[in-house]
Amino acid sequence: MTDLLSLYRTMVRIRAFEDAAERASQGGVQIWGQSAAADAEPALVKGPLHLSTGQEAVAAGVCAHLHARDLLTSTHRGHGHTLAKGADSTRMMCELFGRAHGYNKGKGGSMHIADFSVGMLGANGVVTAGLPIAVGAAHALKLRGEEAIAVCFFGDGAINRGPFLEALNWAQIYRLPVLFVCEDNQISATTRSAPMTAGTQAASARAEALGIAATQVDGNDVLAVSEAAAQLVAGIRAGSGPRLLHALTYRHKGHVSVDPAHYRDPAEVAAALLTDPVTRARELLAARGQADAAADVLAQAQAEIAAAVAFAKAAPFPEAHEAFEDIATTGEGAWA
Amino acid sequence: MSSAVVNPPAVADATPDTSALTLSYAQAAALALSEAMQADRHVVALGEDLGRGGVFGQYRGADGRALVERFGPERIIDTPISESTIMGAGVGLALAGMRPVVELRVADFALCAIDELVNQAAKNRFMFGGQGRVPLVARLPIGIWTASAAQHSQSFEAWFAHVPGLTVVAPATPADSYGLLHAALASGDPVVFMEHKELWSMQGPVTPGVHQPLGKARQLRSGNDITLVSWSRQVHAVTEAADALAAQGVGADVIDLRSIWPWDRAAVLESAGRTGRLLVVHESIQAAGFGGEIAATVAEHTAARVARLGAPRIPVGYAPTLESVARIGAAQVVAAALKLLQR
Ligand SMILES: Cc1ncc(C[n+]2csc(CCOP(=O)(O)OP(=O)(O)O)c2C)c(N)n1
């Protein structure tokens, strides 16, 4: 579904999910050298929570063109991609809360969120690690003659690790059906990416150096992302081989939910908020006379996520014996 | 075994000193690094987010200022996310006369730099017939870090202890974080310096100028019934367990190994020979862990009965119920000690 209202629905579901996850992570956790206040509520989401707030248009615009049989790998910032690929928000929230009903049975949490039933093969805690996996998945699709493609989201920081080059080269020499999507939010953790990256428009330029055509797009314009993705995905389905989409966006929040991002210039943040993709889409819908429909979609998303939180909060934690399950073993036991 | 001491720097023992500062584990390391940088312009640090003061604030002085403000971006080097090259460049810097501190954020990501650490840094001096040396300190933070799941919680000290050419250090206190980082910087060969992520904020006394030798253990409690050997964060669970055992009339010798390789065999063999019982406790996985090496050595050289206590061979789970299966607390140490005493 690629009409603006559908794209908007995906974006506000992601936004509502991220906002709820952010609230649920406050307190409790000690990270980034900070301790939570002694009187803080125990956090429902523990551990590092990387929010994609502000980047929703990339996930929504790209995944709108994917089917459940298409495969996807993601980053440490993977909630939006997972929702957009068709995962269920309740099971996702359960995973973030570490509950047994979560997609990963509470074993993975936010950084490893996955729903294989819709082809979402996993968020990843290791930067750039998703690219070789997507390439391998695409290789399998090709070998098995399946009518599907693989898509891989990664950040602008990820292009500085070697596996980026290896994955792109591999995809190109075997002409694999894979779309690389660089979600360029201009920062890597807490460090600006530009001075850390040689060349300009480096994700595109590096792809082109390997003969992989790259398309650049305003990643905060969901229609533009959707149109670009439509073309690239159609081309890949028709046998073009790998393509790269370079989407320029902005991360509204700190690196992790408890990072106040004081290192960021407030003027830059204020300017970026003016191009918030969700607001832009809502204004465009209003201009097209769909303000009421947009308001309904937003209310539905908020209700959906509130229900997901309520369910997850009441859900049980996994039993300790689960810690020993889902592991390859030759029967010798875990202390052998 | 005196060979356990590598390049001993001028050492005073950690006798209580009224001029001690109270610093966190992270600040203690920052103090050691800044003193070394002050004393030797060849000392530089490189890694991701160092300009911000490091992911855990370990590149921030006690005054809160990031070290880059003091030493400049040529010496506190912010790098791209390029682990292989961060470590590989560290090897090159070292071969070309610098003394790099390579920051790998968490030990788990050192696996993205494993060739550079194991095949390049560790082998260089030997392979090239001693022409070059690699005075590199790789800071690889280890350990379970609440709810960080399977890719950010691992303890790999046994892997690196297995590699000829590497020294492996794992401090448990701010004083050792300070004193051992100085020794690592002075060593002249590659040192894997493993800090525990859940110790960064731990406060303790640090006496400037008091360095610690590599390969020398520290005795924390004395007793004649059982020897408890540990390192890094697990030392704190073990001392708690020793106090609980003492309340039951069991006297434990508690040894903080501090250096995993070289390790203080003399101290461990002396103690285990005297008490007749050895329990090694570590946070890393028990199977093929370094506890096995210690237990085997003690069994080869003494009549002591030996046991190990480490994590099960499972990835660290995210949910608190799963994560706690991989953690070892004082109660388990007490139970394992009592069981060993009955053998
Ligand atoms: C191999 C590896 N190195 C470092 C990290 C720590 N880390 C997690 S996210 C991140 C920043 C990644 O930047 P980018 O790809 O631009 O994504 P962003 O976080 O900005 O969305 C870093 C350095 C990691 N997870 N894996």
The stretch A322-330 carries a mean pLDDT of: 83
pLDDT at B226 over 90: yes
Using a CB–CB cutoff of 8 Å, tell me whether A108 touches chain B.
yes
Task: Grade residue B127 by pLDDT with cuts at 50, 70 and 90.
Answer: confident
Which B residues 265-284 touch A at CB under 8 Å? none
Active-site residue (options: B42, B152, B162, B211):
B152
Q: Where in chain B is the domain with CATH 3.40.50.920?
A: 218-341
Task: Give the long-range contacts of residues A138-144, CB within 8 A, separation 24 or more.
Answer: A138/A71, A138/A171, A138/A176, A138/A177, A138/A178, A138/A242, A139/A170, A139/A174, A139/A176, A141/A71, A141/A176, A141/A177, A142/A174, A142/A176, A142/A177
Residue A76 Cα: closest atom of ligand 1: 9
pLDDT at B15 over 90: no
**Using an 8 Å Cβ cutoff, are A52 and A111 in contact?**
no
State pLDDT tens for residues A209-266: 999 999 999 999 999 999 999 999 999 999 999 999 999 999 999 999 988 898 999 9
Residue A68, Ramachandran bin (φ over 0: left; ψ between -120 and 50: alpha; else beta): alpha
Architecture label for domain B23-206: 3-Layer(aba) Sandwich (3.40)
Percent of chain B with pLDDT over 90: 92
DSSP letters, A199-234, are SSSHHHHHHHHTT--EEEEETT-HHHHHHHHHHHHH
Q: How many residues does chain B have?
A: 343
Q: What is the pLDDT of residue B182?
A: 98
**Which of B200, B280, B309, B322 to mutate against chain A (most A CBs within 10 Å)?**
B322
pTM recorded for the entire structure: 0.89
Distance from C-alpha of A323 to C-alpha of A308, rounded to nearest angstrom? 25
Using a CB–CB cutoff of 8 Å, tell me whether A188 touches chain B.
yes
Which A residues 265-294 touch B at CB under 8 Å? none
Q: What is the CA radius of gyration of chain A?
A: 20
Closest residue by Cα to atom 3, ligand 1, is: A127
Distance from C-alpha of B89 to C-alpha of B109, rounded to nearest angstrom? 16
The stretch B321-331 carries a mean pLDDT of: 97
Instruction: Name the amino acid, one letter, at B313.
Output: R
pLDDT at B5 over 70: no
Which A residues 305-324 touch B at CB under 8 Å? 317-320, 322-324
Residue A128 Cα: closest atom of ligand 1: 1
Task: Grade residue A26 by pLDDT with cuts at 50, 70 and 90.
Answer: confident
Coil, strand or helix at A298: helix
pLDDT at A330 over 90: no
Using a CB–CB cutoff of 8 Å, tell me whether B335 touches chain A.
no
Residues with Cβ within 8 Å of residue A66, at least 6 apart in sequence? A72, A85, A119, A149, A151, A233
State pLDDT tens for residues B66-111: 999 999 999 999 999 999 999 999 999 999 899 999 999 999 999 9
The stretch B246-250 carries a mean pLDDT of: 98
Instruction: Name the amino acid, one letter, at B320.
Output: P
Architecture label for domain B218-341: 3-Layer(aba) Sandwich (3.40)
Contact B149 A46 (CB under 8 A): no
Mean pLDDT of chain B: 94
Strand order from edge to edge, sheet including A243-248: A71-73, A150-155, A178-184, A243-248, A214-218
Which chain A residues are Cβ-neighbours of B319 within 8 angstroms? Answer: 98-100, 106-107, 109, 317-318
Q: Where in chain B is the domain with CATH 3.40.50.970?
A: 23-206
**Using an 8 Å Cβ cutoff, are A3 and A27 in contact?**
no
| Gap from A35 CA to chain B (nearest CA, Å) | 9
Mean pLDDT of chain A: 93
Distance in Å, CA A157 to ligand 1 centroid = 6
pLDDT at A318 over 90: yes
Instruction: Name the amino acid, one letter, at A293.
Output: A
ipTM: 0.82
Is B152 an annotated catalytic residue? yes
Coil, strand or helix at A7: helix
* SS3 per-residue string spanning chain B: CHHHCECCCCCCCCCCCCCCEEEEHHHHHHHHHHHHHHHCCCEEEEECCHHHCCCCCCCECCCCCEHHHHHCCCCEEECCCCHHHHHHHHHHHHHCCCEEEEECCCHHHHHHHHHHHHHHHCCHHHHCCCCCCCCCEEECCECCCCCCCCCCCCCCHHHHHCCCCCEEECCCCHHHHHHHHHHHHHCCCCEEECCEHHHCCCEEEECCCCCCCECCCEEEECCCCEEEEECCCHHHHHHHHHHHHHHCCCCEEEEECCEEECCCHHHHHHHHHHHCEEEEEEEEECCCCHHHHHHHHHHHHCCCEEEEEEECCCCCCCCHHHHHHHCCCHHHHHHHHHHHHCC
